Chains A and B, each alone.
Chain A
Amino acid sequence: MNKPVDANQLSESETGRASWQREYAAGGGSAQAAHNRSGIEVKPLYTPQDWSGDYDAELGYPGQPPYTRGIYASMHRGRTWTQRQLIGLGTPTDYNARLLDLLAQGTTAVSLIPCNSVFRGYDMDEVHAELLGTCGVVANTTEHMEQCLEGVDLARTSCAMNDPSPFTLLAFLLATAKRRGVDWRAVSGTSNQSDYLSHYVANHMFFRIALPGARRILTDHVEFCNRHLPRWNPMSVVGQHMQQAGATPAEAMAFTLCSAIQYAEDCQARGMAPDSFLPRFTFFFDISVSLFEEIAKFRAGRRIWARITRERFGARDPRSWRFKFHGQTSGVDLTRQQPLNNIARVTVQAIAGILGGLQSLHTDAYDEALSCPTEFGARIAVNTQNILREEAHLTDVIDPLGGSYYIESLTDAMEQKILAVMGEVETAGGMYAAVEQGLVQKMIGESARGIQEKIESGEQTVVGVNAYRVEEGKGERQALPAPDPEKMRAHIAAFTAFKAARSQTAVQRAQDGLAAAAGNPQVNLFERVVEAAEAGCTHGEICGTLRRELGFGLPLVMV
């Protein structure tokens, strides 16, 4: 609400404004409108005229709805964000060495990235050997998961699995925990990127069973986790893929919220009560270098989610209202040209995420535009977080930009933009339908093209690409060498030997159980996946059975 303003003050303020406008123009201030990536016009100056919202209703206190200022009362003053670096490379032994190194340097949680062959639902002996372990760890069995997590205390370390449906990595993790005598109720972490719709529309990095099958497995897996894994977050709704694929920050937030609504409705339709699953919904976002826009995106997202969970789903438990998110600095913003410049970009992106109130952060290595990160690059990425957390005083004050005329006005504008895009998706029948129709894919494709054109026209500067170019020596661009072929050959040989030595009867029984479950919607499919993992089935075998039973498809072609 606008407070009544004293007439004298008003005129003084008006005079001040008029004279500022004159001086702005005289001083060479641009008359041209500036726009952020989401297409919102940004003015040269914000004043009380730009934001006169109701503090309690629109901002409130941290830890209180609508959570604009943060989802916890103490935010980073209490517990700083989890430093969760996504890593994945080579064989399980290679992975374990890199993981232990990063944990020793300050990383506090695991996030395992499997090889692309795993994302695609294959075992190592089903794909071109050249591609093994180049972008993630080649883990196909419970034995491999044990090797990956050697020396990691599963009862104390949060382990995110970047787990494509049907969540075999989680199944391998659970089998590992059982072998080590760790109670499943103590296992914590996230089925990271469990959001199949985002994979469908954006990066296709997953085992592509037909949409109805993917939908069922996800809901089965949420149900299983609700029942057996109280410290596990089965739902990770991802805006990162879509923003990396070209969606604007506002679009990415809108699509993510629409997906979350879709998953919540699917869980409800299964008979689960909102307060049983919503506290375990987490979000995963891209953080671009557009600093203020990203901060406003996160603040607006928190506010919208609090409203949706309370009003649309009738959730009563405050934990259901909290918009917990992991942020990853944007790889698309990084350049191959003068790669060390990326350290500056990642720093700005990370600051945006931290000021935006994230719970968990991955900082990209400067060399990710060249290859998977080198050890050197990964170390700088970790230390970027250490510096921001412990040297830069970023954690001293909660939501330090709250109350800024610009940030509050921009948060409102982003909210309106996000709601408008959500409206389009709702009109199409919700996220699942909008993806089936290709609507979301089309919008992302158009935005991607738009950004590219701005870069090519020079409207958007990219240092080293369309401006400030220099002649570079190749020495600056050190790429991570491919995994040692000898080690990979030994890994494949051990895998072949493992398959020959296991109980074929147990494997067959588990595979039959899985196939039968696929045909019977009354059975929890993920439960059968866990049984198969325990029986010694491989990732490729589990996916192969589901591919046969549930159907397989290519992405919608959208150009």
Chain B
Amino acid sequence: MTTAPPKVLVTKIGLDGHDRGSRVVASYLRDAGMEVVYTPPWQDIAAVVKLATEEDVDVIGVSSLATDHLIVPKLMLALEAAGLKDIAVIVGGIVPDADEALLLEAGVARVFHPGSALEEIAAEIVRLTGARRAANV
């Protein structure tokens, strides 16, 4: 099944509810042929880990517009604890430069800032999915 499209979980953790970004990205990825699992905002970290396991996603996309990215390092630890280190995590939204460095250090694959093209996000997901599947063969 090497030709199966990437499977992506698009979610928001923490307290913010602004979901314009996550909805636009999710609908674009779906139209681009990917399998998209979408959640409403305010997910608990544990719920995201559970969903990622059950759905066996390749990539988790976290949208953060109001500092919720600050708990993404906690998500990274929880994924590792659940043995899901192979799932790539990308973050999109308003992330100050200093925080981007912290996220990358915590294991986030890529941070997409406002103004990023949807195409570019999709290409990165394809690349990350390919890398994950190649490593898991």
Residues of A at under 8 Å CB distance from B? 116-117, 119-120, 122, 127-128, 130-131, 134-135, 199, 203-206, 244-246, 332, 335-337, 369-371, 445, 448-449, 452, 456, 462, 464-466, 474, 477, 479, 482, 554-555, 557-559
Contacts and interface: CB of A to CB of B under 8 A. Distances in A.
A448 B15 contact: no
B16 interface: yes
B70 A449 contact: no
Residue from B26, B70, B96 having most chain A Cβ neighbours under 10 A: B96
Interface residues of B, number: 36
B89 to A, nearest CB: 17
A559 B40 CA distance: 10
Given A128-B71, A370-B94, A204 B15 contact: no
Contact of B18 (A204, A371, A477): A204
A122 B99 CA distance: 25
B127 interface: no
A138 B40 CA distance: 24
Contacts of B20: 244-246, 332, 448
B41 A130 contact: no
A448 B96 contact: no
27 contacts: A116-B14, A119-B15, A120-B15, A128-B14, A131-B15, A135-B66, A199-B17, A204-B19, A204-B40, A204-B41, A244-B20, A336-B114, A336-B115, A369-B94, A370-B94, A371-B67, A445-B23, A448-B23, A452-B28, A456-B118, A462-B115, A482-B67, A555-B19, A555-B40, A557-B38, A559-B27, A559-B38
A369 B40 contact: no
Contacts of B97: 474, 477, 479
B118 A335 contact: no
Given A448-B23, A448-B24, A336 B94 contact: yes
Interface string B3-46: 00000000000111111100110111010000010111110000
Contact of A456 (B38, B114, B117): B117
A119 B98 CA distance: 26
Contact of B115 (A127, A244, A465): A465
Contacts of A449: 24, 27-28
B98 A134 contact: no
A131 B71 contact: yes
Given A116-B16, A554-B40, 18 more contacts: A116-B14, A116-B66, A128-B71, A135-B67, A199-B17, A204-B41, A205-B17, A205-B18, A244-B20, A335-B115, A336-B115, A369-B114, A445-B24, A449-B24, A462-B115, A554-B42, A555-B41, A557-B39
A558 B23 contact: yes
Interface in B110-124: 113-115, 117-119
A300 to B, nearest CB: 25
Contacts of A245: 18-20
B74 interface: yes
Contacts of B28: 449, 452
Given A246-B20, A370-B96, A336 B38 contact: no
B68 interface: yes
B24 A482 contact: no
Given A445-B27, A554-B40, A555-B19, A371 B96 contact: yes
B122 to A, nearest CB: 11
Contacts of B118: 452, 456
Given A127-B15, A335-B114, A557 B40 contact: yes
B70 A130 contact: yes
B29 to A, nearest CB: 10
Contact of B70 (A456, A482, A554, A558): A482
Contact of B94 (A122, A371, A474, A555): A371
Nearest to B113: A336
A173 B20 CA distance: 32
Nearest to A446: B27
A130 B41 CA distance: 18
A127 B14 CA distance: 8
B76 to A, nearest CB: 14
Contacts of A246: 20, 24
Contact of B14 (A131, A204, A206, A558): A131
Contacts of A128: 14, 70-71, 74
A204 B22 CA distance: 13
Given A449-B28, A479-B98, A203 B67 contact: no
A356 B23 CA distance: 31
Contacts of B98: 479
A56 to B, nearest CB: 42
Interface in B90-132: 94, 96-99, 113-115, 117-119
A426 B20 CA distance: 25
A80 to B, nearest CB: 31
B37 to A, nearest CB: 10
Nearest to B16: A116
Nearest to A133: B67
A131 B115 CA distance: 24
A206 B17 CA distance: 8
B43 to A, nearest CB: 9
Nearest to B100: A474
Contacts of B19: 203-204, 245, 555
A482 B102 CA distance: 14
Contacts of A479: 96-99
A435 to B, nearest CB: 15
